[in-house]
Amino acid sequence: MTRLNLLLVALHAYIGWRLAPALPWPAALALMAWLVASVVLVPQGFTHRRSGAEAARIAWAGLLAMGSFSSLLVLTVVRDIVLAGADALARLAPALAWPGAAEATAIGVPLLALAFTLVGLYNARRRARVRDVDVPIDGLPEALRGFTIAQVTDLHVGPTIRKPYVDAVVDAVNALEADVIALTGDLVDGAVGELAAHTAPLQRLTARHGAFAVTGNHEYYSGVTAWVGELRRLGVNVLMNEHVVIDHDGAPLLLAGVTDFSAHHFHASHRSDPHGALAGAPDGMHVRVLLAHQPARAPAARAAGFHLQLSGHTHGGQFFPWNHFVRFWQPFTAGLHRLGDLWVYVSRGTGYWGPPKRLGAPSEITRLRLVPA
């Protein structure tokens, strides 16, 4: 048994130890049965990634169990803190004692975890909503007023996100009639051979100036060379530390893309390079937009002279309480931010990773519009 599996067993045992003794025996038995099943199912969410109906069912069960376990663990910890506080308060003021607190909270924790799981499942599985964002640009040429970029990021086509969801996203994006479509990484969770049929709808993406993509860390986990080739076969322009100049009604807009922030750990030649992405760019470009999967590229993008960076990666934390912790490893969690002369927009993602669960961090298809400052 690996250390990770031992930790998983220990955390499930902690939940059972803290909750079961305070429950009526039928509820305690049901909880223990679920915890045993969860220990078995959770690892299956990441080991059954091959195609086929049986593998998909196993992956679904494992990832649902993972989402439920996450909420159950967090709420059990919160319960312990609440009970410790209530006990301390009762000692100071006996009149404030809470009789039956242990049993009431032991019943409440699994019920609340179930509610979180079901609501989170509904939020994750419904098609991402369109979010409109205006980005004010200093010195914006009149011809670029209202220039629109439709951003899709962190789609994570894989065990539970398949062709029907991708089709729905493509239909929604095409309906926006954007000038440019930006795919900012983590489109897939699996090899081309397993997922090509499910990413095929991306071939239908249409925008006035085309669709452009950059790599995310999950492309590197999934075979980046093959996926770059597949995206290009589907008609998506993949920008690998390079740029294009778009002529929009006589006004130029520079659109650049960099490889993922961690790319050099997989391929030394893929090191993310915002400065290199501008190599050979004409002088005097009034609008320079960078596609970079991780918000962590923002300081380098600012130094390189970009006006706007579009990123994803964070999922906005995806579900409570993790949406409050993303800020500790990324400079920006979600939404539009200012870093000196650079605007940074971080999407919460169009799909989800791992558990089919979103709570407090809704998915989005983003329509960004350039407006004068």
In the beta sheet, which residues pair with residue 305?
none
Radius of gyration of the chain from its Cα atoms, rounded to whole angstroms: 23
Do 350 and 314 form a contact (C-beta atoms < 8 A)?
Answer: no
d(CA 142, CA 300): 28
pLDDT of residue 327: 78
pLDDT of residue 118: 96
d(CA 140, CA 143): 8
pLDDT of residue 50: 54
Phi, psi of 339 (to 5 degrees): -130, 95
pTM above 0.75, yes or no: yes
Question: Which residues in the chain show pLDDT less than 70?
Answer: 1, 47-53
Task: Write out the H or E segment, with its range, that includes residue 136.
Answer: strand 129-137
Which whole-number Å values give the CA distances from 250 to 80, 143, 144, 246, 373, in the listed order? 64, 7, 9, 9, 20
pLDDT of residue 52: 62
Which residue ranges form the domains of the chain, and what is each CATH number? 3-124 (no CATH), 129-372 (3.60.21.10)
pLDDT of residue 216: 96
Cβ neighbors of 329 (< 8 A, separation 6 or more) are none
Structure token pair of residue 255: 């659109």
